[in-house]
Chain A
Amino acid sequence: MKYLDEYRDARIARALAAEIRRHSSRPWVLMEICGGQTHTLMRYGIDELLGNSVELVHGPGCPVCVTPLEIIDRAINLARRPEVTLVSYGDMLRVPGSESDLFHVKAEGGDVRIVYSPTDAVNLARSLPDRKVVFFAIGFETTAPAHAMAVLQAERLGLRNFSLLVSHVLVPPAIRALLAHPKNRVQGFIAPGHVCTVVGCRDYEDLVREFRVPIVVGGFEPVDLLEAIHMLVIQLEEGRVALENQYVRSVQYEGNLPAQQAVARVFEAADRKWRGIGSIPESGLYLKPSYAAFDAERLFNLSGISAQEPAECIAAEVLLGHQKPTDCSAFGSRCTPDKPLGAPMVSSEGACAAYYQYKRHLVTL
């Protein structure tokens, strides 16, 4: 496929890896934020291709992983109600709550549906006027415009049986929390290309200035990631600190203005809890009071449901880049993708799950 295959070209990837090894004088510690990027790095063995020239640590950018346990419990609570049709992206169904997951609730007879797009959920609400259709709206900045449009469309159609269970998080406050942490080791970041396609580059430029750390906006294919790593290594070797954009074919400095406007109409920022990390100031999106009629948390009175995360899981250390998945004593034994203890083992984009899938050979089970 055009604009995909050429960025998976092994010959170019090898050449870029050789360039990185040639330029790097020490193992620079770099973090990719997005879980999709983590998955590509592991899948194509890019970390192994780079040897000791860089150390890649993996960020908290997997929305499935960082959705708090209590929100999963709230989704499960909704799915068990006889009047509710709970609609979700497929990857949320396996995510364990405190006692169960949405797959089990579905098997027990709960009305849980999987869709590809929030538009499908709006259409479902139209075709099922007697059901209360709740869409489980999780994601980062990339997905927020689509969820905002679903609300605007439902409003336009006068739908009274459609609402969102919102668990939206924002990337820059998480990077800020990570950089301000006393144990931070990260010397350069690959910023998430599709988040920046929507919101633009300004917030990342602020982070570069505030923390004097190089950031390169990167794409998702092996060649994209290697080029972004190359750009970071060159900056670090030259002692420069700048925001650069590797993913120019999709990201413009201003981002996507119509998408930003849709989000600003429907959502507002406030503190949010991240699974494995805890609360981060101004790091989440919530429906504005003017759209309270679409807020499932209010409509179904869910705020009383809270949950405690398993103590053995070192998710926070992994999501902040302080430890690798393989440093955890439960990894691959008491914690696997089938029976995850915590956030990063939950989704295939989580660092622990990606290690489990592609790097099991490194672990003595």
Chain B
Amino acid sequence: MCLAIPGKVASIDEKDGIRSGRVQFGGIVRQACLDFVPEAKEGDYVMVHVGFAISVVDKDEAERTYALLESMGVLADELTPGGPPADS
């Protein structure tokens, strides 16, 4: 129920006094209200919940975290070639 999905803001327009955007989720495009994320611009990723963007994805944080996690995965693979990491 509290699901929110990251999508890319393709374009922004204003309708009925509401700032809204066309947001791409993979191959699907949906309209989402951007009133809660006034800082969002085209090309940003936003987390969308029931048609409302509730945050702009922090790109730097996402990349930093992911790089850290990935290095952990790579390291584990190197330590245990050909299989999942063994129990310690």
Interface residue ranges of B40-88 to A (CB < 8 Å) = 45, 47, 49-52, 54-55, 57-58, 61-62, 65-66, 69-70, 72-77, 84-88
Give complex CA distance A15, B65 in Å: 15
A192 within 8 A of B: yes
Chief secondary structure at chain A's binding surface: helix
On chain A, the number of residues with a Cβ less than 8 Å from chain B's Cβ atoms is 61
Evaluate whether A250 and B57 lie within 8 angstroms (CB atoms) in the complex, with A146-B51, A223-B69 already known. yes
Give complex CA distance A252, B37 in Å: 13
**A197 and B4 contact, CB distance less than 8 A:** yes
- The contact string, 1 if C-beta is below 8 Å from chain B, for chain A 1-29, is 11110110101101110110110000000
- Residues on B with C-beta less than 8 A from A315 are none
Evaluate whether A143 and B73 lie within 8 angstroms (CB atoms) in the complex, with A2-B8, A153-B18, A249-B57 already known. no
Interface residue ranges of A105-143 to B (CB < 8 Å) = 116-120, 138-140, 142-143
Evaluate whether A146 and B2 lie within 8 angstroms (CB atoms) in the complex, with A11-B77, A248-B58 already known. no
- Residues on B with C-beta less than 8 A from A195 are 2
B53 nearest CB across to chain A (Å)? 9
Minimum CB distance partner of A117 in chain B: B51
- The contact string, 1 if C-beta is below 8 Å from chain B, for chain A 184-224, is 00000000101101100000000000000000000010010
Cross-interface CB contact of B88 among A15, A22, A62, A220, cutoff 8 Å: A22
Contact stretch, chosen from A254-262, A288-296, A353-361: A254-262
**A149 and B2 contact, CB distance less than 8 A:** no
**A197 and B18 contact, CB distance less than 8 A:** no
Cross-interface CB contact of A16 among B5, B54, B72, cutoff 8 Å: B72
- Residues on A with C-beta less than 8 A from B47 are 194, 197, 250
Minimum CB distance partner of A3 in chain B: B6
B interface, CB within 8 angstroms of A: 1-6, 8, 16-18, 25-26, 33, 35-38, 45, 47, 49-52, 54-55, 57-58, 61-62, 65-66, 69-70, 72-77, 84-88
Which 6 A/B pairs are nearest by Cβ-Cβ distance? Answer: A117-B51, A15-B76, A12-B73, A249-B62, A3-B6, A18-B85
